[in-house]
Structure 1
């Protein structure tokens, strides 16, 4: 006779008991997860513990649905946090009106506009005024 310390939890699970490797080794148990059974050697004859495939499948499916809903809830929370951070940082930006209609950053240093093509004087590039010619 061997004693084993374990905890009982009120949780729907496809497993009736969770035994670690030390417990399985102590009882010289042999498990087969596909057939949902476990055999333990005794002096008289082996003890066979058999699981119920139907109950196991139902509880595993319910557990999977619960896990999926928890993951979705966490993703929604992260998205809301990210949106709130983006909105608060957007409000703190110093913006100026852009010719396209959006907002643009104000440059931190002096700049100058360089015309790209004399045929189209409205097409310019803004560069730092401190750049040297190459």
Structure 2
């Protein structure tokens, strides 16, 4: 449940677990922000799925549109405000309950504090792993910019001080020369 989200999100691996082919995705998608902290995300596509809440004697089902994203998450899906509006559902985060009208009375969906805590821990670990991966990528980019020039041959000599060229054979037209330090002592 995410009452702050303006989207219903479904992860691509959940789509695979449901054995739904990606060819059913519609491509009319726009990028959005906020799912991955500080990152812009472009979904793979949208899909309409039938979602059902309740028990066999008292249930509601509605078609919801989900944005399908490629990255992983701690959940299978995120139900946002569009879901709540469609089901006329009211979330209560304190008691971990979601209530909605059903044909035979109120439908209550509930969770446990232990499950909520485990999900929070998994979300934090995922976010930390993502941040560490970004730091590693930035570090590798920095190291790759410090790689020596690829045109330079291994073992090439580059003097750190001024040098003097001495022709090996002044009579030879190929101008081969030795390089020696211009600051050598006579000793």
Report the Cα distance in structure 1 between the residues aligned to 2:90 and 2:78, rounded to whole angstroms: 14
Residue 51 of structure 1 corresponds to which residue in structure 2?
111
Alignment RMSD (CA, Å) = 3.3
Larger relative contact order (Cα-Cα within 8 Å, sequence gap ≥ 6): 2
Residue 108 of structure 1 corresponds to which residue in structure 2?
none
Report the Cα distance in structure 2 between the residues aligned to 1:12 and 1:28, rounded to whole angstroms: 26
Report the Cα distance in structure 2 between the residues aligned to 1:52 and 1:43, rounded to whole angstroms: 26
Residue 86 of structure 1 corresponds to which residue in structure 2?
146
Q: What TM-score do the two structures reach when normalised by structure 2?
A: 0.38
Report the Cα distance in structure 1 between the residues aligned to 2:96 and 2:160, rounded to whole angstroms: 68
Residue 62 of structure 2 corresponds to which residue in structure 1?
3
List runs of 5+ in structure 2 lacking aligned partners.
Answer: 1-59, 67-71, 153-157, 162-187
> In the alignment, is residue 33 of structure 1 matched against residue 126 of structure 2?
no
1:73-112 alignment runs, 5 A limit: 73-88=133-148
Cα deviation, residue 44, structure 1: 3.3
Report the Cα distance in structure 1 between the residues aligned to 2:141 and 2:123, rounded to whole angstroms: 27
Q: 2:128 aligns with which of 35, 59, 68?
A: 68
Larger Rg: 1
Write 1 or 2 for the structure with the bigger share of helix.
1
Cα deviation, residue 57, structure 1: 0.9
Cα deviation, residue 69, structure 1: 2.0
SS in 2 for 1:48: strand
Report the Cα distance in structure 1 between the residues aligned to 2:124 and 2:110, rounded to whole angstroms: 23
Report the Cα distance in structure 1 between the residues aligned to 2:81 and 2:96, rounded to whole angstroms: 17
Cα deviation, residue 42, structure 1: 2.4
> Any conservation in 1 of the 2:62–2:86 contact (CA below 8 Å)?
no
Cα deviation, residue 61, structure 1: 0.7
Q: What TM-score do the two structures reach when normalised by structure 1?
A: 0.51
